[in-house]
Structure formats: structure tokens, C-alpha cells
Amino acid sequence: MNIYKFFFYAAITLITVLSILPGFGSNQSGSIQIFSHGYLKHCVAYLIISVLLFKSYSSSKKKFLIVAFLFTLIYSAILEFIQYFLPYRTFNLYDILANAIGIILGIIVFIIIVIKKRKSLPVKS
């Protein structure tokens, strides 16, 4: 197992646990603050997860990026759906939106990494 896979699975596990335990970033007020720390945390967490996923499987193919985006977005929606049934958590569509933004930013970061890596490779003659 490469180091990226280890950190990817560790991050997925951590986010799953933090999403279902009481008191970890829950916003009981229901207020919408686009730049609140909660949404920023969601965005950053899913940016990191998506970059780790892409680096884990070392594929920059368009099909893989789309499948990985959908997998990660569905994962985040499932966690949010589970929170609907937990009395100490709340379902929030804006959390899923923040997650999607993080995933998209992760794709952009990964593409930049791939482009820089390709530019640094020696040209074959």
C-alpha cells in the first residue's frame, strides 16, 4: 500500500467518525453563513480527500476523475443523510455543496500537480 492510500483511508475513516459523533462541528442553529468555519472545514477536508484519492490511484484520466468525483460526492451525501437520523446532528445541503466545492478544488489541485510533474520530466529525443 502506498503512503497516499494509507492517508486516504485514514482521512475517510476520520471524517466518517467525526461526522457521526456528537459535537464535532455540528451547526444546530441552521443559519446559512457561506464563509463560516464549518463550510470552510468541509471544503478543505474534501479537497484533501480528493487529492489523496487521485494520488493514491495515480490516474489523471478524465474518466477516473469523474468517477472519483462522483464516489466522493456520494460518500459525503451519505454521511450527511445519516446525520438526518442522528438527534445530535443536522442534515444540511450546504454541507454537501461545500464538500462538492472542495472536491472540485481537489481536482484542480491534482491537475496542476500532474501538469507540473509532466513539465519537469525530461523530454525524450
| Per-residue pLDDT reduced to its tens digit, 39-84 | 898 999 999 999 999 888 876 678 888 888 999 999 999 999 999 9
The C-alpha torsion from 25 through 97 and 54 to 109, rounded to 10°, is -100
Whole-prediction pTM: 0.80
Helix-then-strand count for the chain, H and E: 4, 0
Residue 121: what pLDDT?
Answer: 72
Check pLDDT > 50 for residue 26: no
Residue 25: what pLDDT?
Answer: 53
Separation CA 5–CA 13 (nearest Å): 12
